[in-house]
């Protein structure tokens, strides 16, 4: 893609880099923690562990993870085990990435049973 800030160069802008970093954080978060055993009693601990792990990554200013305990309990109640595997359908996540003064905010929410990751705003523009 041509970059108007660099006279036709394909070098990404700082805004594009901020958005890219948000995608990297989501990929890491999802693929690192999907499959983790979880139940309503361990959800808070897992939320904090995910937040702490992802916040350690470069340019990541804030991570908020909420695990749907009601959905966990329902899934566990329908099975024979006392836990289930963490998947995106149980999580809502918000990331704030700051790169060279530009802020990108991204979220993961379940829509129609599928976890969708999307860019909410860049530099405060929604």
Identify the CA nearest to 102 among candidates 65, 61, 57: 61
Token couple for 64: 């908020």
The label of the residue with tokens 């009693």 reads 41
> Using an 8 Å Cβ cutoff, are 99 and 85 in contact?
no
Domain range enclosing 56: 4-122
Q: In this predicted model, what pLDDT tens digit does every residue of 68-122 receive, in sequence order? A: 999 999 999 999 999 999 999 999 999 999 999 999 999 999 888 888 999 999 9
* Helix, strand, coil percentages for the chain (3-state, nearest 5): 40, 35, 30
CATH number of residue 99's parent domain: 3.30.1300.20
pTM of the predicted structure, to 2 decimals:
0.86
State the average pLDDT for the chain: 91
Q: How many domains does the chain have?
A: 1
Q: What does the pLDDT average to over 20-44?
A: 95
């Amino acid at each position: 893609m041509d970059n108007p800030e660099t006279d036709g160069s394909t070098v990404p802008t700082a805004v594009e880099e901020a958005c890219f970093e948000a995608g990297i954080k989501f990929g890491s978060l999802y693929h690192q923690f999907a499959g983790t055993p979880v139940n309503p009693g361990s959800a808070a601990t897992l939320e904090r562990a995910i937040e702490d792990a992802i916040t350690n990554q470069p340019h990541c200013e804030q991570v908020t993870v909420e695990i749907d305990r009601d959905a966990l309990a329902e899934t566990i109640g329908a099975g024979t085990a006392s836990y289930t595997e963490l998947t995106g359908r149980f999580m809502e996540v918000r990331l704030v990435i700051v790169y060279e003064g530009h802020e990108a905010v991204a979220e993961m929410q379940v829509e129609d049973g599928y976890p969708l990751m999307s860019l909410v705003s860049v530099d405060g523009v929604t």
